[in-house]
Amino acid sequence: MTISDTDILFLGECVREAARIEIMPRFRNLGAADVAEKTSATDLVTQADLLAEHRITAALKDRFPAALIVGEEAYDADKSVVPALADAELAFVIDPVDGTFNFAAGLPVFGTMLAVTVRGETVAGIIHDAALGDTVTAIKGAGTFLTRQDGQSSRLKVAEPATLDQMVGGMSWGHMEEPDRSRICANMAKARMTFAFNCSAYEYWMVASGKLHFIGHSKLMPWDHLAGVLAHQEAGGHTAKFDGTPYRPGETTGGIISAPDRESWQLIRREIVGH
């Protein structure tokens, strides 16, 4: 199974249409009944998440009726879809509003992520910034590109390697368990500057475009990482799990680090993660 250039254009339009119709009209316009807690007060779902995922899913099913579709909001109804990514002939993974807490708080740091996998390999990824209208598109073997709302396009490249005290990065330590949580949080003081965006879409755009040197996460749900990891790798970066193995569709544990190159990755794992 292959994905054509026409398919990529279709997928990009699906994501942008969902942003125009379902997401942005609800940004800073949510009522109390439009927001619900999933597992905690910081793990939310809104009507924008649900309706955007429904719209994208319907469009994908219409064009690719045999494909496996994995949506973050539909996952609770059928958890078997995530391990099925390892072998699916063709699959699409959707995060309709990544950074839902930010979205619900009125902070314009959120995005829509869509990944395409073929037989356990990510072959395309899209990250759309609904607030600004920019789209990051990555294609396996063809690079990562940022397309602005006005149509201008540029190729993305990761940051040049640097010493740790000159690096800018972020680690999602808030989702970690002790003792990793406290150790990694303290070790982040070794970097030049740190950020916590609470939004994988934004973090992967930042690291793929060279604005950040590194990012790291412990929780590996596919909708948060597949599109972003491909974007980072196609921009020249090195991403691997905490144990050094590649991150593959269907995996949900093991932690992950994205850095400019293998040597920088090893430095972050040793000095920040402490492995």
As annotated, the binding site for Mg(2+) includes: 72, 95, 98, 224
Backbone angles phi, psi at 269, to 5 degrees: -60, -40
3-state DSSP of 168-229: EEEECHHHCCCCHHHHHHHHHHHCCEECCCCCHHHHHHHHHCCCCCEEEECCCCHHHHHHHH
Q: Is 263 helix (H, G, I), strand (E, B) or coil?
A: helix
Residue ranges of the annotated binding site are: 72, 95, 98, 224
* Cα dihedral sign, 171-173-176-178: positive
Among 267, 253, 256, 246, smallest CA distance to 216 is for 256
Among 192, 200, 41, 240, smallest CA distance to 112 is for 200
Cβ atoms of residues 169 and 215 within 8 Å: yes
Q: Is 26 helix (H, G, I), strand (E, B) or coil?
A: helix
Q: What is the DSSP letter of 107?
A: -
Instruction: Give strand ranges (E) for the chain.
Output: 35-40, 43-46, 68-71, 91-98, 111-118, 121-129, 134-139, 143-147, 153-155, 168-171, 193-194, 214-217, 238-241, 256-259
Q: Is 93 helix (H, G, I), strand (E, B) or coil?
A: strand
Instruction: Give the CA radius of gyration of the chain.
Output: 18
Backbone angles phi, psi at 128, to 5 degrees: -115, 125
Type of residue at 224: D
